[in-house]
Amino acid sequence: MTGTAVRIAVIGAAGRMGRMLVETIHHDSGAELVAVVDRPGSDCVGMDAGELAGIGVVGLPVTDDPAPAVADADVAIDFTLPEATPAVAAACRAAGCALVLGTTGLGAREQRAVEHLSEAVPVVQAANYSTGVTLLTALVEQAARVLGHSVDVEIIEAHHRHKVDAPSGTALQLGETVARASGRDLAQCAIYGREGHTGPRARQTIGFSTIRAGDIVGEHTVLFAGEGERVELTHRASSRTTFAVGAVRAAHWVAAGRAPGLYDMRDVLGIGR
């Protein structure tokens, strides 16, 4: 580190989250933005990172290679696409750079790359870096343990029209939380949408409903519906700032002498299991 400032590289500069991260780090006196990366061929490569984020010139051009970028960083924050994850993980491992990963929709190959990296450096991986969503996950886990198979469970999520994966990574994380807490296998009990004559629902299933519309930042509800009563746990985000602030908080946490390993936002916030 340089002094007490955490040196951070942002991977995925051109995305909504990338731009928000650049702005958040710029205004964080305890952090230093040392590199900003976007995909090869991007129109943003060569642009000033500050101008791209709408905060004025910061004197840091966007590059297209994560390897030299993470070599100068204590932590990389990556919100890109799954196909980029193995290369980012390899670059971080070679440089000994910690990683805060917000990319969702990873397949088995990408997840193996993340786990391989976590053997050498600390990695924080979360589908959602909001403090509120992390608390929601903890509450959902408690509710699922108490209610078990006595209720029907539905997970409803809504995002902006540009989101390309469905259900959201956060919705799937919530589904996994319910499944683990109630002794189910999500791969066997998940229902992704319904159409036609479906018949009565089986109590052990976990349903998912997805909305894509307008500029919705992110909304998640977990519905536990029983006979005569129901419990609804909901989180609504009105700004992406909360996700960027959470990711930078995770970067500070992971840079504070953490041992190699795979962590999540519950670890960052100190929320026990």
Mean pLDDT score across all residues of the chain: 94
Residue 157's closest CA among 206, 205, 212? 212
pLDDT recorded at residue 101: 98
Mean pLDDT throughout 97-107? Answer: 94
Q: Which of 26, 27, 149, 159 is catalytic?
A: 159
Q: What is the pLDDT of residues 44-64, one digit of tens each?
A: 999 999 999 999 999 999 999
Question: What is the SS3 assignment for 193-222?
Answer: CCCCCCCCCCCCCEEEEEEECCCCCEEEEE
Helices (H), the chain: 16-26, 49-53, 66-71, 85-95, 108-118, 131-147, 169-181, 186-189, 241-254, 265-269
Is 70 exceeded by the pLDDT of residue 3?
Answer: no
pLDDT recorded at residue 240: 83
**Can you give the residue ranges of every domain in the chain?**
6-125+240-269, 131-237
Helices (H), 80-167: 85-95, 108-118, 131-147
Binned at pLDDT 50, 70 and 90, residue 273 comes out as low
Distance of CA 35 to the CA centre of its chain: 20
The alpha carbons of the chain give a radius of gyration, in whole angstroms, of: 19
Which residues are paired to 10 by β-bridges? 36, 77
Comparing 189 with 240, which gets the higher pLDDT?
189
Q: What is the pLDDT of residues 18-30, one digit of tens each?
A: 999 999 999 999 9
The answer to whether 159 is a known catalytic residue is: yes
Distance of CA 255 to the CA centre of its chain: 18
The answer to whether 27 is a known catalytic residue is: no
Model confidence, pTM: 0.82
Is 80 exceeded by the pLDDT of residue 248?
Answer: yes
CATH of domain 131-237: 3.30.360.10
Mean pLDDT throughout 229-243? Answer: 94
Distance CA 131, CA 148 (A): 26
Distance CA 11, CA 73 (A): 12
What is the CB neighbour count within 10 angstroms for residue 34? 22
Binned at pLDDT 50, 70 and 90, residue 2 comes out as very low
What is the architecture of the domain spanning 6-125+240-269?
Answer: 3-Layer(aba) Sandwich (3.40)
Binned at pLDDT 50, 70 and 90, residue 203 comes out as very high
Contact 239, 185 (CB under 8 A): no
Q: Which of 26, 116, 163, 252 is catalytic?
A: 163
